[in-house]
Amino acid sequence: MNHWLRSYGLLLGWTALRSRANLVLNLVIQTCLAVGIIIGFAYLVPQVDDATALYFATGAPVLGLITVGMVIGPQEVASAKQEGIFDFNRSLPVPRTALIASDATVALLTALPGIVAALVVAALRFDLTLDISPLVIPAALLTAFTAIGLGYGIGYGMAPPVARLVSQLVVFIALMFSPITFPASRLPDWFETVHKVLPFQYMADAVRDTLNTPAGGVGLVSFAVLAAWAVVGFLVTYRMTARRP
Amino acid sequence: MKCYRGSTRANDGISLHVEAGEVVGLLGHNGAGKTTLINQVAGLAMPTSGTIRVSGIDPVAEPAKVRRMVSIMPQAHAPLAGVTPRQATRTLARIRGLDKQAARTRTDELIAALDIEAWADTTGEKLSGGVRRLTAFAMAAAAGPGRVVMLDEPTNDVDPVRRRLLWEQIRELANRGCAVLLVTHNVIEAERSVDRTVVMASGKVVAEGTPAQLRSRAVGEFRLELTAATDGDLPKLPDHITAAGPMMNSTRRLVVPLDSAAASPALAWAQRLRDEGHIDEFALVPVGLEDVYVQLSGDEAALEAEKGAQGEPLVA
């Protein structure tokens, strides 16, 4: 355990040091993304009522997290594989889980400011009053970890060119065809069923219900489904990191 | 006391042993299976059969344990974007088990020894290929004594002066009790710097021994190389000079293996040919490891070695 913690700490420093160069750009892009979603989606819908505003305001941070985890994440992994960084990391005298955990931690830390920026802009733009539950913290963390875990799963589990394409597809589906910024009931029945399995709807539900708690309280199904998806993503990542050809 | 014994059939039956304090050079043309061997020893790739032991530990059964005793300098560039050589070396030293103070001391020592102080605090993307390479070496070498250190083509891109410094540091690793296994294409440098050489071809070990032992396998002690003035007009070897083995010739070039007794008359003959304008140039060079290597690893390697340096000519 001591070796694990020491490795994790050192890797965290090492990863932070290496991503420091892109940190500012990353933060700017994420903030722009979050702000852009709120302002841009409002153009699509001229009359924003309270219900729609709530979907936009709570959907924007989720879309931000999906972009960081499932688009930027797999693309970074694809580059790391092609540049030999993945092989280099694999040769380090550290536990694989510490390696993955340190990467995920840095990804999480860079994703958090985007959430806050989105909420602030949403509150200003739509003049919302939210009923925030303390469960918002685990909800946001779980959503972030699911996005990061699945993003790594895509990046590590697929060949770099395929991973890049899939990550593009993910953002397209998440942005336009997922019940994140609109209710699932607007989708055709079959697509609604598909989203009962995919993680997107549960990410949106977890964040929305904890930011503005509905009368029936926060549903825990979303948390369970997200945890399951996160486990799948990280398991694939672990398997690919520990794989010995 | 780090040593390993490899006998993996995955690359078609390799058996070799590296002792602590020893530098072993692994030679072989592209695709000969050298990098695969390194990955197998480090527990990053599985052998299909055979046994590997790193200080008695099996990397197949306990890869995590073995990784903690092995340092690899990979063939690809180390990840240096956004970090300086000093930061990278220091962090890797810590990851490889040194405490803060020891990591700092070892880092400063390596940076000074490799003469890269001028770039020690410049971030990776602004560094030249050679400095990146030296940094990658420092990142592998920054560890406590007594490890297995595996270097995959460590001298690529490095300038001749720092290359010597690098070879000194490789020797220094062995002096500190490490077992060093290095992959290289630079046969001439390896000849001067390694204790033992293993030549691989098509996944097999085709020769093993000290550079002197391997050299003794070559035909003759010298090699006379002639370049004809015009294509197809190669001179014939006169009767009083006896070749020590089969000659090699192309349209303009003739290579004659010679024993030391024949060197002097051969030199006189070649000088006369040049004075008379039959040949453009000639060289009499002592047979080196490279000649043996070329013989051993076949035509593919011969083409590559041809592009490289040709030894140190006595006369040109």
What is the nearest CA distance from A159 to chain B, expressed in angstroms? 18
- Residue B46, chain A, CB below 8 Å: the answer is yes
What is the nearest CA distance from A147 to chain B, expressed in angstroms? 25
Q: Which of B44, B78, B87 has the CB atom closest to A244's CB atom?
A: B44
Q: How far apart are CA B225 and CA B172, in angstroms?
A: 37
Residue B32, sorted as left (phi over 0), alpha (psi -120 to 50) or beta, turns out to be alpha
- What Cα–Cα distance (Å) separates residue B293 from each residue in A37, A136, B122, B196, B247? 64, 67, 39, 14, 17
Subunit contact B77:A20, Cβ cutoff 8 A: no
Amino acid B307: pLDDT: 43
Q: How far apart are CA A231 and CA A34, in angstroms?
A: 26
In a domain, B307, yes or no: no
Question: Do residues B207 and B229 share a domain?
Answer: no
Amino acid B12: pLDDT: 67
Question: Do residues B205 and B126 share a domain?
Answer: yes
Structure confidence by residue, pLDDT tens digits, B270-315: 999 889 888 888 988 887 777 777 777 664 444 444 444 343 333 3
In a domain, B233, yes or no: yes
Residues in chain A within 8 Å Cβ distance of B45: 244-245
**DSSP β-bridge partners for residue B8:** B50
Question: Do residues B119 and B243 share a domain?
Answer: no
Subunit contact B77:A91, Cβ cutoff 8 A: no
Q: Using an 8 Å Cβ cutoff, are B229 and B278 in contact?
A: yes
Amino acid A87: pLDDT: 87
- The domain tally of chain A equals 1
- Residue B313, chain A, CB below 8 Å: the answer is no
Q: Which of A84, A95, A245 has the CB atom closest to B77's CB atom?
A: A84
Subunit contact A87:B44, Cβ cutoff 8 A: yes
What is the extent of the structural domain holding B280? Answer: 219-287
- What Cα–Cα distance (Å) separates residue A63 from each residue in A173, A175, A179? 11, 7, 11
Closest to B32 (Cα-Cα) out of B15, B51, B12, B4:
B12
Q: How far apart are CA B180 and CA B208, in angstroms?
A: 16
Q: How far apart are CA B316 and CA B261, in angstroms?
A: 20
Name the helix (H) or strand (E) containing B109: helix B100-113
Residue recorded with tokens 């002690």: B221
Which two three-digit tokens encode residue B52?
A: 């590997």
Question: Do residues B109 and B149 share a domain?
Answer: yes
Domain boundary pick from B214, B233, B258: B214
Question: Do residues B234 and B86 share a domain?
Answer: no
Minimal Cα distance from A79: which residue of B? B79
Question: Do residues B65 and B131 share a domain?
Answer: yes
Question: Do residues B187 and B66 share a domain?
Answer: yes
Inter-chain CB pairs, A–B, below 8 Å: 65
Which residues, including other chains, have CB under 8 Å from residue B290's CB and lie 6 or more apart? Answer: B187, B188, B191, B305, B308, B311
Buried b / exposed e along B191-202 (16+ C-beta atoms within 10 A): bebbbbbbbbbe
Question: Do residues B146 and B14 share a domain?
Answer: yes
Q: How far apart are CA B30 and CA A193, in angstroms?
A: 53
Question: Do residues B132 and B229 share a domain?
Answer: no
Amino acid B57: pLDDT: 87
Minimal Cα distance from B124: which residue of A? A18
Question: Do residues B231 and B144 share a domain?
Answer: no
**Residues of A contacting chain B (CB within 8 angstroms):** 7, 10-11, 13-14, 17-22, 80, 83-85, 87-95, 244-245
Instruction: Give the CA dihedral B170, B172, B177, B180, nearest 10 degrees.
Output: 10
Amino acid at B47: P
What is the extent of the structural domain holding A66? Answer: 2-242
| Tens digit of pLDDT at every position of chain A (245 positions) | 689 999 999 999 998 888 887 788 888 888 888 788 888 887 888 788 888 888 888 898 899 899 889 998 999 999 988 888 888 888 999 999 999 999 999 888 888 888 888 888 888 888 887 888 899 999 999 999 999 999 999 999 999 999 999 999 998 999 889 999 899 999 999 999 999 999 999 999 999 999 888 887 778 899 999 999 999 999 999 998 888 77
pLDDT, mean over chain A: 89
Residue B156, sorted as left (phi over 0), alpha (psi -120 to 50) or beta, turns out to be beta
Question: Do residues B112 and B14 share a domain?
Answer: yes
Q: What is the pTM of this model?
A: 0.81
Structure confidence by residue, pLDDT tens digits, B3-14: 344 444 446 667
How many separate helices (H) and strands (E) can be counted in chain A? 10, 0
- What Cα–Cα distance (Å) separates residue A142 from each residue in A56, A69, A166, A179, A222? 20, 12, 22, 18, 10
Amino acid at A154: I
In a domain, B47, yes or no: yes
- The domain tally of chain B equals 2
- Residue B122, chain A, CB below 8 Å: the answer is no
Question: Do residues B200 and B230 share a domain?
Answer: no
In a domain, B80, yes or no: yes
Subunit contact B45:A245, Cβ cutoff 8 A: yes
Q: How far apart are CA B20 and CA B140, in angstroms?
A: 16
Instruction: Using 50 as the pLDDT threshold, list the residues of chain B that sit under it.
Output: 1-10, 299-316
- Residue B55, chain A, CB below 8 Å: the answer is no
Minimal Cα distance from B44: which residue of A? A244
Subunit contact A88:B76, Cβ cutoff 8 A: yes
Amino acid B297: pLDDT: 64
Subunit contact B82:A91, Cβ cutoff 8 A: no
